[in-house]
Structure 1
Amino acid sequence: MEFTPDYRNIQDAAFNKKAKRLPMYEHSISTDHMEKILNKKFAALIDGDFSDKCEFFNRYCLFFKTMGYDTVSFEVAIRESFPGGGALDKHITPAITSREDFINYPWEEIPELFLKRADEFYMALKQSLPPGMKMIGGPGYGIFECVQDLTGYMNLCIMSYEDPELYADIFLAMRKLFVNIWQGFLDKYADMCAVARMGDDLGYKSNTMLSAEDIKRYIVPGYADIVRLSHSYGLPFLLHSCGNIFNVMEDIINVAKINAKHSNEDQIAPFSVWVERYGDRIGNFGGVDADVLCRTDKQQLKEYITDLLYSVGNEKGIAIGTGNSVPDYVPTENYINMIETVREYRKG
């Protein structure tokens, strides 16, 4: 029987309800896996004209439907519209290192730059969504990551001591920028969204990358702005954030008022711990440790996933997938094994 997507399953999970069918979710999946599974090369089409983009998203949506997802995950990166950006992941001179840089930075131009660049992608996806399927996503990257893209992480940390006023002002400017960008996005595309999503990695294995106090003061209020906007369009809000962020989770839940959280790693805490701690208040997406997905043989992986499903699969607010993403270095057969195990469980 052909799979029929129903975005309401994952929307219910994001609202921390028990879905009629356990939904699956991934933050991102490498198109290498999509091309292998569909036996069709199409990834390069996304860089073509509008017709090419439509063909790309036809294949992209077909992949998610074929694998049994109720939604597609997609975003257009905000940081790619930053003049002088790139310090998040490149060794370049940051765009903002001083008060003068901050004052002269073209903050007001970025929302228009973003939407002008993003529109073609979102419009092509909107045309390509099959019946019953919607998108999880929005403008890509989060407030902390985008600040780093303009300042660099080390320079940002130094700035917090040497020029705390500039440090605070950059976060405030980014918060205002995010409201403008998200407002523009939701005005045009909320109707094709099942869940609004922001990805913003705040931590590593043992702690957060900034102090808990700074995250609560400068970042969480910005999340709250976007959550309120999303709620005004009737959408639940999903935060993807890697790392050990237990010391800020209460504020993320109670101040930002997110609806669901994604990202887990067994070395930090098994997925069941997230569900036990927060499952009464928010949905929890993920579950399968990405390292386990990479390194485990077929039978061990099936047993690991089956144990996970019987542990949390009957809880409210659950969407199952990896605790991170499915990059190209994950063996495709392991990814397929995960999907088959979940779909077998869903049959009862």
Structure 2
Amino acid sequence: MKTSHWWKGPVKADPDFGQLLKVLRREVPDRPTLFEFFLNAELQAFLAGDDERTPENTVHAFRNAGYDYATICASDFSFPLAEQAHAATISQNEGVRITDRTSFEQYPWPDPNLCDYTPLERAAAARPEGMQLICHGPGGVIENMISLVGYDNLCYLLVDDPALTREIFDAIGTRLVAFYKILLQHDAVGAIIGNDDWGYKTQPMIAPDDMRAYVVPWHRQIAAAAHATGKPAIMHSCGNLVTLMDDIIDDIGYDAKHSYEDTIMPVETAYDTYGHRIAILGGLDLDFVIRSPEAAVYKRAGQMLERAAEKGGYALGTGNSVPAYVPAEHYFAMTAAALEQR
């Protein structure tokens, strides 16, 4: 980007993670606060002033953009998958590793205690005063389940072999909980994200009762692990989760919900419906941000901040993340609505 109407250069004000904490407690922050899950490589390079994708540059990019935190991939912990195609979209049935009990028992289950947390240490050392890290997982409970067994196979397993289904879910869940517990012991980690896409546009990926039986209990443990250390837990989940919002709020106890889409529930409606029970993060629909005029993006962002000005519990951002196909000027038009009040 050579010139920009909206970008005024790196934010001069110091980060203050306490402002995001106020949002997560459903309080009113002292000034408009930003939240984003991740920034695409080109945008991060521009913000950091360096093309190299490193933990340090992630911190610099988030700081320069005006965030009070940086989201960090803290470790190499992951669930090994079979080779998959590298494309913009892939089948949810491709690259499965587990098809029956034998393959389940032979699968090389990772141990989070043996993984490399150097990225977390490097990001922690790069933080300016007032900034904390927010760490996410290598996918979530049902996401990793689908990656390991395939979506069609999961649907069959739920009916044909509930015992094996539970064992696989539990093998994933126990390791994710252990991973988050390791992260939460680090002083630089201010909060965690339980990232797990639960739904499609019209409904959850599996029946709500199956979600409650196999998935919700592990998220309850993830949130409890965060709360046991006095730190908030954020849920990032795409899809239509109307039938599961009570579980997310009252059973699991997530402090905030991230990821919204206008065709499912506009963020304005989500805030009015759930904002008194759970903090609402981001929410400006990606399609809207991409295709609308910059002035319209700026206007809607400002209106959302005004909507939450008295009640609090809201941080401005996109409905999901900032992938490469989001025009940078549209992103900066959105953040300008908050940053102009700094």
Q: Which residue of 2 aligns with 1:94?
A: 96
Residues 1:240 and 2:236 are matched in the alignment: yes
Q: Which residue of 2 aligns with 1:150?
A: 148
CA 1:65–1:111 in structure 2 vs 1: closer, same or farther (change >3 Å)? closer
Name which of 45, 57, 60 aligns with 1:35: 45
Tell me if structure 2 keeps the 8 A contact 1:126–1:192.
yes
Matched to 1:95, the amino acid is R
CA 1:140–1:18 in structure 2 vs 1: closer, same or farther (change >3 Å)? farther
Q: Which residue of 1 aligns with 2:6?
A: none
Residues 1:60 and 2:58 are matched in the alignment: yes
Matched to 2:222, the amino acid is I
Q: CA deviation at 1:299?
A: 1.9
SS at match of 1:196: strand
Matched to 2:204, the amino acid is T
Counterparts of 1:313-332 in structure 2, within 5 Å, are: 313-332=309-328
Deviations 1:232-281 (A, max 9, x none): 11101100001110101101111111111101111111112211222112
**Matches of 2:162 and 2:75 in 1, distance apart?**
28
SS at match of 2:252: coil
Greater helix fraction, Structure 1 or Structure 2: 1
Q: Which residue of 2 aligns with 1:184?
A: 182
Q: Which residue of 2 aligns with 1:170?
A: 168
Show structure 2 runs of 5+ residues with no match. 1-10
Residues 1:287 and 2:289 are matched in the alignment: no
Deviations 1:30-79 (A, max 9, x none): 02112234553222xxxxxxxxxxxx333322221222111111224777
Q: Which residue of 2 aligns with 1:197?
A: 193
Q: CA deviation at 1:225?
A: 0.6
Q: CA deviation at 1:138?
A: 3.5
Tell me if structure 1 keeps the 8 A contact 2:137–2:195.
no
Matched to 2:267, the amino acid is F
**Matches of 1:94 and 1:141 in 2, distance apart?**
15
Show structure 1 runs of 5+ residues with no match. 44-55
**Matches of 1:76 and 1:193 in 2, distance apart?**
10
CA 1:183–1:39 in structure 2 vs 1: closer, same or farther (change >3 Å)? closer
Q: CA deviation at 1:141?
A: 1.6
CA RMSD of aligned residues (A): 2.2
Name which of 8, 12, 34 aligns with 2:22: 12
The number of equivalent residue pairs is: 328
TM-score relative to the length of structure 2: 0.89
Residues 1:278 and 2:274 are matched in the alignment: yes
SS at match of 2:283: strand
Matched to 1:64, the amino acid is F
Tell me if structure 2 keeps the 8 A contact 1:99–1:166.
yes
